[in-house]
């Protein structure tokens, strides 16, 4: 069993320069080859916390990347997600917000492209934002929106000539997450999956024209995080369940009551089939996905769980608890075995080691939470 879980290990915690917002999939990791420092990011309010760290947590470097709008400088719009998108020709850092979509060079130094959301098309009472980011194929980046469409951006090898090549319209609710399987999807299985607040899942095949492969109807429960593994969709839901679907047909293959509360993030080690899940119950679970060679059924087995240990630092705490207030802590227990890990475009640990403050339980998201 020790060898089976070697891909996942807890490393030392690294201090973020600020808090992390209570959002799905709120950690992005960029693993660079060789001795280059690894990069981590988490959003909070209108800014992105960027952290670079060499091996063993040495050589820490912090910076804040604020949301921007062309011609207006800094923006007060809240960020909803950030992710590094790794394409064969370049790496871009993509930010989504209430105003639009920003694409930067990988280090965040140069704004490459800005796409404004069309607020006029939304009803006055409906929130407007973008959320869900994934790189797919040779040159595409897909981003979801609060009204349901998924925008497909065609990314040039260099320069700023980014264009919207297609709009995928199958979701009737706000998109929550998008995931891709770069170069590993079986023929006909699709290589992109998108999810929404109603629980609908859409599997797409990327190309010059994207094609809908299968669609899982809404189940009335939010699907907050998705991952793809060898033609299988792993989906985490607000009721604490993880469901495995066949990507080509949308057929449900397995269902696990994985957590006692809302699942916030999934991450996958594609070489080993290890799936990591984290939820509001403050537990991190590790699962093993496999395919039965005799029946071709997808099987899932529980490997282990981890519960964060004290000390706890409270973020967004009321004044009477300010003596406990501390900076954000980034727990690096998602090492994922280096090259065996997924690209890190989502990262599972941005929301994993948290217990929510009373403000969240009362429905006021971001009013306060704990990082352990």
Looking at residue 58, its pLDDT comes to: 66
Could you check whether the bond before residue 311 is cis, i.e. omega within 30 degrees of 0?
yes
Whether the CA torsion 357, 366, 267, 104 is positive or negative: it is negative
**CA-CA distance, 286 to 284, in Å (whole number)?**
7
DSSP 8-class letter at 320: G
Q: Which of 261, 262, 244 is nearest to 253 (CA)?
A: 244
b or e along 265-281 (b: 16 or more beta carbons within 10 Å of the residue's beta carbon)? bbbbbbebbbbbbbbbb
| Residue 91, C-beta contacts closer than 8 angstroms, at least 6 positions apart | 30, 84, 85, 106
Cα-to-chain-centroid distance, residue 257: 21
Residue 318 phi/psi, 5° resolution? -65, 165
In DSSP notation, 142-183 reads EEEETTS-EEEEEPPSSSS--EEEEEE---SS-EEEEEE-TT
What are the C-alpha distances in Å from 175 to residues 80, 133, 144?
Answer: 12, 10, 5
Q: What is the pLDDT of residues 296-335, one digit of tens each?
A: 788 888 887 766 544 333 333 333 333 332 333 343 333 3
Supply the Cα-derived Rg of the chain in whole angstroms.
Answer: 19
Domain map (residue ranges) of the chain: 2-361
The sheet with strand 284-291 has its strands ordered as 263-269, 274-279, 284-291, 298-306
Both tokens of 218, joined, read 């809404």
Looking at residue 14, its pLDDT comes to: 79
What three-state secondary structure class fits 120?
helix
DSSP E strands, 262-328: 263-269, 274-279, 284-291, 298-306, 313-315
| Residue 266, C-beta contacts closer than 8 angstroms, at least 6 positions apart | 225, 226, 227, 234, 235, 236, 242, 275, 276, 277, 346, 348
Does domain 2-361 fall into CATH 3.50.50.60? no
What three-state secondary structure class fits 329?
strand
pLDDT tens by residue, the chain, 372 residues? 333 334 556 677 777 777 888 898 998 999 887 778 889 999 999 999 998 887 665 678 888 998 877 766 666 789 999 999 999 999 999 999 998 999 999 999 999 999 999 866 555 657 899 999 999 999 999 999 999 999 999 999 999 999 999 999 999 999 999 999 977 667 778 899 999 999 999 999 998 999 999 999 999 899 999 999 999 999 999 999 999 999 999 999 999 999 999 999 999 988 889 999 999 988 989 999 998 888 878 888 888 776 654 433 333 333 333 333 233 334 333 333 333 334 343 433 333 333 333 332 333 233 222 222
Looking at residue 259, its pLDDT comes to: 94
Looking at residue 272, its pLDDT comes to: 87
With 0.95 as the threshold, say if the pTM is over it.
Answer: no
Looking at residue 326, its pLDDT comes to: 30
Looking at residue 13, its pLDDT comes to: 78
Both tokens of 25, joined, read 């999939």
């Amino acid at each position: 069993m020790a060898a089976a879980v070697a891909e996942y290990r807890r490393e030392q915690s690294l201090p973020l320069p600020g808090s992390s917002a209570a959002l799905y999939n709120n950690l992005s990791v960029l693993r660079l080859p060789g001795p280059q420092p690894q990069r981590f990011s988490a959003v909070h309010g209108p800014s992105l916390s960027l952290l670079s760290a060499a091996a063993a947590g040495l050589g820490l470097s912090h910076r804040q990347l604020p949301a921007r709008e062309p011609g207006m400088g800094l923006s007060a719009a809240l960020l909803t997600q950030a992710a590094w998108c790794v394409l064969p020709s370049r790496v871009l850092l993509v930010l989504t917000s209430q105003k639009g979509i920003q694409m930067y060079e990988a280090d965040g130094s140069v704004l490459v492209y800005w796409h404004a959301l069309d607020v006029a098309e939304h009803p006055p009472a409906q929130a407007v934002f973008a959320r869900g980011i994934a790189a797919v194929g040779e040159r595409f980046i897909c981003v979801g929106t609060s009204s349901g469409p998924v925008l497909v951006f065609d990314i040039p090898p260099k320069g700023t000539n980014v264009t919207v090549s297609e709009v995928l319209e199958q979701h009737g609710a706000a998109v929550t997450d998008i995931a891709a399987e770069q170069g590993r999807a079986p023929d006909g299985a699709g290589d992109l999956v998108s999810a929404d607040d109603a629980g609908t899942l859409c599997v797409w095949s990327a190309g010059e024209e994207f094609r809908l492969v299968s669609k899982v109807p809404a189940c009335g429960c939010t699907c907050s995080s998705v991952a793809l593994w060898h033609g299988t969709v792993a989906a985490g839901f607000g009721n604490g369940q993880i469901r495995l679907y066949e990507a080509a047909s949308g057929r449900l293959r397995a269902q696990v009551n994985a957590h006692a509360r809302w699942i916030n993030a999934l991450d996958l080690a594609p070489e080993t089939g290890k799936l990591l899940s984290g939820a509001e119950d403050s537990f991190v679970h590790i699962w093993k996905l496999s395919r039965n060679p005799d029946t071709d059924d997808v099987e899932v087995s529980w490997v282990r769980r981890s519960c964060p240990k004290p000390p706890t630092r409270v973020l967004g705490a009321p004044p009477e608890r300010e003596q406990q207030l501390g900076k954000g802590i980034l727990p690096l227990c998602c090492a994922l075995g280096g090259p065996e890990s997924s690209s890190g475009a989502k990262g599972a640990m941005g929301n994993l080691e948290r217990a929510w403050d009373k403000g969240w339980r009362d429905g006021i998201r971001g009013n306060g939470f704990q990082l352990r």
